[in-house]
Amino acid sequence: MENFTPYTATAGGVLIGISVTLLLLFNGRIGGISGIMNGVFFSAHKDPVWRLIFLTGLVLGVVLFQWLVPGFNVTRQAYPLPLLLMGGFLIGVGTRMGSGCTSGHGICGIATRSLRSVLATLTFMATGMVTVYIIRHSMGLAA
């Protein structure tokens, strides 16, 4: 567990918690990123503007942090492209079918004491762990 970073992980989590709290308090919106992404192009209420602004802010936050603390996060190189493309496609389908992702179910949904979100979070963590086990240890890919 030499890669374990408990302090920065917890502090980063607190910031994410503050972000979704302010979004709910001021704008009445749930900070679920898959729903926000989807709504940019597929919103029933034709309201893509705030979603685009939020996602732009998200990217700007990463840029700002990278500028202040260069080299803290580096991009991954040479990961198998088919795993990315297939993975992304399944994320798109799965988060629509299941109405949320790590932030929507895992952080916001659980905070509303939603049983749906608790079960969704346990489910995607379980299938994620099985998938990584197969890819890394059974197939020996992308270790």
Partner 1 sequence: MKQNFMVLLCGVIFGIGLSLSQMINPNKVLDFLDISGNWDPSLLFVMIGALAVTLVSFKWVLKRPVPLLAERFHVSNNASVDKPLLLGAAIFGIGWGMSGYCPGPAVGSLGLLSMEALFMVASIYTGFFAYNWLLARK
Q: Which parts of 65-94 interact with partner 1 (CB under 8 A)? A: 65-66, 69, 72-76, 79, 81, 83-94
Burial of 37 (0-12, 13-18, 19+ CB in 10 A): middle
Binding mask 115-134 for partner 1 (x = CB under 8 A): xx--xxx-xxxxxxxxxxx-
For residues 49 and 64, give the distance between their C-alpha atoms in angstroms, rounded to a whole number: 22
For residues 108 and 141, give the distance between their C-alpha atoms in angstroms, rounded to a whole number: 33
| Contacts (CB under 8 A) with partner 1, residues 27-66 | 27-31, 33-34, 37-38, 41-42, 49-50, 53-66
- Give the total of residues touching partner 1 (CB under 8 A): 109
Tell whether residue 139 is a contact of partner 1 (CB under 8 A): no
Reading the block at residue 41, the tokens are: 């192009």
CB of 46 to partner 1, least distance (A): 14
Residue by residue, DSSP assigns 33-92 as HHHHHHHHHH-TT--HHHHHHHHHHHHHHHHHHHHHSTTSS----S--HHHHHHHHHHHH
CB of 80 to partner 1, least distance (A): 9
Binding mask 93-112 for partner 1 (x = CB under 8 A): xxxxxxx-xxx-xxxxxxxx
